[in-house]
Amino acid sequence: MSVRQSLLAILDQGPCYGYQLRSEFDRRTGSTWPLNVGQIYNTLDRLERDGLVSRGAADEHGHVYFEITDAGRAEARSWLSSPIDRGQTVRDELAIKLALAATLPGVDAAAVIQAQRQASVARLQTLQGAGQPDDAGTPEELARALVVDAMICAAEAEVRWLDGAAQRLAARPRRAYELALSSERPRRGRPAAS
């Protein structure tokens, strides 16, 4: 839920047509979020359905301008002014994957960590080596620098976390954490297989 609000925030600056929205989005995000043009039109349809934008008639060039509504404006401003709530729940594939790897018998969690660590470090180096200008001249460069910084920070955090996880796992004998299936789960019937 991000493309939606992004388009809304752009439309808050004034009416745009679909193709234009795409290039605005691209410029303002340093082209870091590849956006299929089709998705713009999809999203606009959904925004219109929800009463957040209204579709104008095509102008003399055939451009179909969309205008933000009052409800849309409220939504856009609320998005920008309130922090993103990550909730108290995870939605991180890697974290869940490792938690599973660490508790599933027969899975070498340390190997999972090492493989990921290698990939993450490589990614980090790519990002860092990508020549991040300390001073971003154009707005496009600023946007890109911000986003790349975010990726770098996230990759660093990932590596740190992986190292911590490796330590946690090494602190105790591996088998100690492996959980067989359905220890005594089904209270009213046992699988024939066990």
- When CB distances are held under 5 to 8 angstroms depending on the partner's kind, the choice from its own copies, DNA, none that residue 191 binds is its own copies
How near is the Cβ of 82 to DNA at its closest, in Å? 15
Please choose, out of 34-42, 73-81, 147-155, 165-173, the segment that lies near DNA by the rule CB under 7 A: 34-42
- Which residue type, as a one-letter code, is found at position 132? Q
**With respect to its own copies, which residue has the nearer C-beta, 71 or 95?**
95
Q: Which residues contact 107 (CB under 8 A, 6 or more apart)?
A: 100, 101
| 96 lies in the binding site for its own copies (CB under 8 A) | yes
| 29 lies in the binding site for DNA (CB under 7 A) | no
Tell me how far apart the alpha carbons of residues 74 and 68 are, in angstroms, rounded to a whole number.
Answer: 10
Tell me how far apart the alpha carbons of residues 24 and 18 are, in angstroms, rounded to a whole number.
Answer: 10
Under rule CB under 8 A, which residues in 121-140 are in contact with its own copies? 123, 126, 135-136, 139
How near is the Cβ of 66 to its own copies at its closest, in Å? 12
Give the residue from 62, 42, 61, 27 showing the smallest Cα distance to 139.
Answer: 27
SS3 145: helix
How near is the Cβ of 72 to its own copies at its closest, in Å? 15
